[in-house]
Every structure is written in C-alpha cells, then in structure tokens.
Amino acid sequence: MQEALERVSTGVAGLDEVLNGGLVKNRTYMVRGQPGAGKSILGLEFLVAGADEGEDVMYVNMEEPEAEIRKNAASLGIDVGDVEFLDLSPDSEFFSEDLSYDIFAPEEVEDGAITDRISERVEETSPERIFVDPISQLRHLSPDEYQFRKEVLSFMQFLKEQGATVLFTSQATPTTPDDDLQFMCDGVVELERTEQGRSITVPKFRGSRTLDGDHVLRIDHGGITVYPRLAPQQHEKSFELETLPSGVPELDRLLNGGIERGTVTIVTGSPGVGKTTTGVQFMKEAAGRGERSVVYSFEEAKNTLVHRCESINIPVETMMDKGTLAIEEVEALQLSATEFAHMVRQEVEENDTSIVMIDGVEGYKQALRDGDDELARELHSVCRYLKNMGVTVILMNEIPTVVGEFQLTQAGLSYLSDSIVFIQHIEMNSRMRKVIGVLKKRTSDFERNVREFRITEYGVDIGEPLDGLTGILTGNPTFEHTSGFPDEPNSRRRARENTRDMFGTDDRDSARRDVDRHADYPTDESGRDHP
C-alpha cells in the first residue's frame, strides 16, 4: 500500500484543492509567469501559512528590497511580521561587486561572502519553508549555463536536506527561457494575466494528481483566491428520484406530475411570456416542503423580480425571510464562468439547496467574461454537477421572436435538458394569447396537449387542453371548431367554486379572501390584475 504523502498548505484559498491537498512536504516547486502575475504574493501567502502553524519561514529576496515587499504585503492586508527575510536585492552591498552565487563550491569563485551568508542563515534557523524570489537572478551571476544549472541543483538539494519545502519564482524571457528549471523542480505552478483576467495552471506535479485545466485567480485585499474549475465527476450525492410538483394542477398534468429531482428542465419562450414566473412557481411549492431554492438572475433586477412575483400570489419576500429562497443578481462582466460555478457549488454545499434556476441562458452568456465555447462547456459542467448532487435545475431560455415560426432553444442547449417546456405568444382574432406545452421528458411520459397559459393576480393559470387549435408550432394557429379559449382562468374558477361551497356566494372579493385564507403564504392585497 502506497504511503500517504505529507502535505503543506499553500495558504491560498482554492489552490490546495487544485493540488489535491497542498504541496508535498520537503519538495521544490517553481512559480512562473510574467511580471505582475502574482508570483511574489503567492510566495508570501505560502510563508505566512507556515508561520501561522508555528513554523520557521524564510524569504530570500534577490530582486525587490525587503522594505518594498513589506509595504506591498501591508497594502493587501497580508501580515508578514513572522516572516524572516534574507535581503539579497540588487541595492544591497552584495550586488555592488562581481560575485558568484555558487553556494556549494566556493573554491570555484573569487569571493564566497554571499554564498556563505545564505548557507549560514539556513543552517542557523532551519526554516521549514523557504521562498526564493527569483531564482533566475542566479543565471545573471553565473559564468555560463552549465554553472547555473549546477548551482541551482546543488542549492535545491541543500535546502531539501535541511528539511525545507521550497518555493521559488522564475522570470523567463525569449532570450533566457526557464525550461531547465522546470525539469529540476518537483512541480510547476504557472500564473497568467490576460485581458479576460488572471488564471493559474499546474502543468507538472510529481507524485500526485491535480485538477486539470485553467483555474481562475483573483488578487484582492487579503491576497489571492483561486477558483478551481468545476470537475462534475468528482462530486456525487445519493438522492431519491422523486417527482416535484408545481402546485398548479394543470401544469403538473402536462408534466405527468411535475419535474424530477436531479434533472434539468429548460423553459423556453419569447421575452415576457412568463418563463421566470413558471420556474419560481416550482420554488414556491418547494418552500412549502421546507426546501431551499436559489435564482441566479442574469437579465432582471432583483427588486423587479420580487415585486412582480409578490403581485401574483408568489410571496418571495416571505420565502427569503424564511431562508427557503435566495435571489442572486449577477452583474455583467464581474465574474468568469468558473467563478460563477464556484458560487453555485458553494450555495449547494453550504445550504443544501434543492432547486437552482439560471435566468436566463442568454444573459449568462452575455454577463460572464468568457468565450462562447468556454461558456457552453462551463454551463454543461454546472448542470452535470448539480444533477450529480441531486439538485433540480431550471434553465430559462429566451428565443428572439415573439410570434411566428416556433423555435425550440438556441443552438447547443437542448442536449442539456431532461425536460423542455415551451411557452409561446400567439395571435388569435387580433388578440395576443399565450400557450404552454411540453416537448420532451426523458424520465416519464407527458401530456402532448397544448393549453392556454395566463398569469393572473392569483398566480400561474393554465387552461384546459386546446383540442381544436392547430398550427401553433408553424406560426399560423387556427381553430378547427369554434370552442375557442375559455373566458375564465382556472385559478379564478377554482377560487369561486371554493367560495360558493363555503359561503354560498361567488363574489370576487369573497373569492379573493378565500384564496388568501387557503394560500401557504399571504398575498398582495392590491387586487390588481397582472397583465
């Protein structure tokens, strides 16, 4: 049986996860990247994490003066009070003469003052963590490439023999690449800074697996945060496959009882047709069971969504107060797709969230600062992760046309779905109407009728099957007979029937009071009809 490797934390949130637990103790690792990528900050956090554990740590700064490093660390809120510095920066006396840095063969150089200083300090303090920034400075002080490689190999071996875990930086240029250093060390951490943001990869890591791919890196007050790329296959949770009703009987009949836990449902339709309201209806019903849901709104302000739902008997404010609903408004271009996936994962794992709605897919593509191909892959990863965790996913897909020839979803979306519900505007007798139907359901059979769809002051209302209506999906709906649409919504009719049974009247105000009395949550008392 293979012995477990002892790990040390990098001190960077998220990076230890990428490294499968952290750096392997008593090994050497290189951090490479262009100037300003965050190499020195990463080294500082590595040392501070060790100091916080009571370890002796040393920063060998060979380029930037100690005073500047301390100043920069303070500006980020990083406390380096317990970090010991060995300042060998160019403005020190050690760089005022033509000296060599051969630490282990002083007889080959003219003066061993600097090498003696380094070796003596390491032997005196026996630091458990050492950060050398940058080791490539030795290249400029070595007579040739052979001597440089020899010195670096000897230097690393010496530090490892002292029991230290070593992190060092490199500054490669087109004329002086650092390929030789990559071969010498046990692992390579690569930082990159582009117009799209910062990223971190781990192309080499001896003795252990790591998370593949580019991971997002942010530098804010407090230091570095790494957002690992979501790997759905590494997350799984056992759950019971059960049907989740919407609470609207006609909608549940369309879906053969509702949507299944741990599946993806796409609600597709033109702008303003009622997609979001339909999705939140499932969340209202889940709240009654004590389950938590979250809406990630990419296209609508949170206060607008709250007001709209409250006016149609979906009490989202009460749900939020009880902790059964969260609405997260995602601001455009503030997050990458990887950061959004991390946000979703954190919500699910910390709050045991059971339903996640992404509202909507086009807004997701516009708001996150990644390319279209990358966004499609990330959305697939998020949905796969949520399904593995037993979370029900509702995706809102907006098609560009209001009326006309039917469109299912935008390109590349339908394969994600287990169920597809469409809501569509149609024009009949010079009046705008809405219809709803189900096009796909992998987990069970479903009703293939098209029904009228309305949003009233009582909530989502779905009428009886429109058996005589044909041509909806061709953009030219006609009735084969004159039955037409029912004049009274089912929600209002049910309210009247309940009131007549209990009070002997079908008065509208009495009906409204009866609806309020039997609702799970209080409703808006304005009495306004929703358009």
Q: What does DSSP say about strands 28-32 and 215-220: parallel, antiparallel, or unpaired?
A: unpaired
Which among 452, 454, 446, 450 is positioned nearest to 467, based on CA atoms?
Answer: 450
DSSP class of 516 = H
Token code pair at residue 351: 């709050």
CB 256 within 8 A of CB 447: yes
Query: pLDDT per residue over 47-56, tens digit each?
Result: 999 999 999 9
Please report, for the chain, the start and end positions of each structural domain, with discontinuous segments joined by +. 7-229, 243-518
Please count the other Cβ atoms lying within 10 Å of the Cβ belonging to residue 46: 27
The residues pairing with 131 across neighbouring beta strands, listed in sequence order, are 59, 167
Per CATH, 7-229 and 243-518 having the same topology is answered yes
| 471 vs 450: CA distance, rounded Å | 11
Q: What does DSSP say about strands 392-398 and 355-359: parallel, antiparallel, or unpaired?
A: parallel
| 251 vs 419: CA distance, rounded Å | 13
- CATH superfamily placement of domain 243-518: P-loop containing nucleotide triphosphate hydrolases (3.40.50.300)
Helical segments of 352-472, H only: 361-367, 372-388
| pLDDT under 70: residue ranges of the chain | 1-3, 91-116, 141, 370-373, 400-412, 474-476, 481-531
Which strands sit side by side in the sheet containing 419-428, from one edge to the other? 325-329, 293-297, 355-359, 392-398, 264-269, 419-428, 431-441, 451-456, 459-465
**DSSP letters spanning 210-260:** ---S-EEEEEETTEEEEEPPP-GGG--------EE--S-HHHHHHTTTSEE
Helix axes 113-125 and 145-161, enclosed angle (nearest 10): 20
Radius of gyration of the chain (CA): 32
Tokens 């979001």 correspond to 276
Helical segments of 389-507, H only: 490-503
| 255 vs 441: CA distance, rounded Å | 8
CB 359 within 8 A of CB 279: yes
Query: pLDDT per residue over 82-130, tens digit each?
Result: 999 999 887 545 444 544 444 434 444 444 345 567 778 898 999 999 9
Residue 52 parent element (H or E): helix 39-52
CATH of domain 7-229: 3.40.50.300
Distances (CA, A) of 205 to 5, 6, 155, 174, 192: 13, 14, 20, 24, 18
pLDDT at 17: 95
